[in-house]
Each structure stands twice: as structure tokens, then as C-alpha cells.
């Protein structure tokens, strides 16, 4: 079975703090993709990153960074120097090669206070 767990339901931080959102996944597939999406209060889903299961290099994009570790089946997302505009619900998702179906975690609501 495939599953994505985001154990943190809600996180609150003060602006400029660093924050890490956890994502743990389960799959028997040897090839798969992992994603992070952002859902701001307006409701749309904004694609942030896609990671191939064969590529364990960490990635940094501005204030965002992702730590992919196959040994612990985790794909964690860190926001450095958080800003109020980062307030949103963040979803981690898993996709198997072939079906393209996305299995989503339940999301983590991040609130960044000024």
C-alpha cells in the first residue's frame, strides 16, 4: 500500500524563524516521485517541487530547501527565514510511475505571525 504521512497538523512560527515540515511516505515501488504543493488561503494548489526516487540530492530554491532520505522514507521541507506570505497549507504527495495518481498527505497548516 502507498501512504503519505504528515504528522504535523499545524505549525505556528514568528516571522524570520526557520521551520521544517515533515513528510514520511510508504511505497513498495522502486521508482516513484515525491512532490510538495502549497495551498494559500485563496485555495489553489501551487506546485513547489518534484523529486525522483533515484535522485537523493538535496535541493535549495531561495528560502526553500528539501531533504530527501530514502533510508528513512522521508522528504522534509524547510523554509528559512519564514515570512507572513508563507502562511498556507502544505501538502506532500507520492506518485507511482505508470499510474500518475497522486497520494496526498493530510497537509500541514503553517501560520507565520509578524
Partner 1 sequence: DADVTQTPRNRITKTGKRIMLECSQTKGHDRMYWYRQDPGLGLRLIYYSFDVKDINKGEISDGYSVSRQAQAKFSLSLESAIPNQTALYFCATSDPQLGQHFGDGTRLSIL
Say if residues 25 and 35 touch (Cβ distance below 8 Å): no
Q: Residues with Cβ < 8 Å from 14, sequence gap 6 or more?
A: 112, 113, 114
Indicate which single residue of 32, 91, 94, 112 sits in contact with partner 1 (rule: CB under 8 A).
Answer: 91
Q: Which stretch binds partner 1 (CB under 8 A): 22-30, 61-69, 73-81, 97-105?
A: 97-105
CA-to-CA distance for 114 and 104, rounded, in angstroms?
Answer: 30
45 binds partner 1 (CB under 8 A): yes
CA-to-CA distance for 99 and 111, rounded, in angstroms?
Answer: 34
Indicate which single residue of 74, 87, 102, 111 sits in contact with partner 1 (rule: CB under 8 A).
Answer: 102
Indicate which single residue of 1, 28, 41, 44 sits in contact with partner 1 (rule: CB under 8 A).
Answer: 44
Q: Which stretch binds partner 1 (CB under 8 A): 15-23, 67-75, 79-87, 93-101?
A: 93-101
Say if residues 93 and 49 touch (Cβ distance below 8 Å): no
In the complex with partner 1, the residue whose CB is nearer, 48 or 80, is 48
CA-to-CA distance for 113 and 102, rounded, in angstroms?
Answer: 31
Name the residues that contact partner 1, by CB under 8 A: 9, 33, 35, 37, 43-45, 47, 50, 91, 93, 95, 100-102, 104-107
Amino acid at each position: 500500500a502507498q501512504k503519505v504521512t504528515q504528522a504535523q497538523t499545524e505549525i505556528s512560527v514568528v516571522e524570520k524563524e526557520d521551520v521544517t515540515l515533515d513528510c514520511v511516505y510508504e511505497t513498495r515501488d522502486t521508482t516513484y516521485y515525491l512532490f510538495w504543493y502549497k495551498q494559500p488561503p485563496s485555495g489553489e494548489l501551487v506546485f513547489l517541487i518534484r523529486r525522483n526516487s533515484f535522485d537523493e540530492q538535496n535541493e535549495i530554491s531561495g528560502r526553500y530547501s528539501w531533504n530527501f532520505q530514502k533510508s528513512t522514507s522521508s522528504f522534509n521541507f524547510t523554509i528559512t527565514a519564514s515570512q507572513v506570505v508563507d502562511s498556507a497549507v502544505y501538502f506532500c504527495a507520492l506518485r507511482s510511475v505508470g499510474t500518475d495518481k497522486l497520494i496526498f498527505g493530510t497537509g500541514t497548516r503553517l501560520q507565520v505571525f509578524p
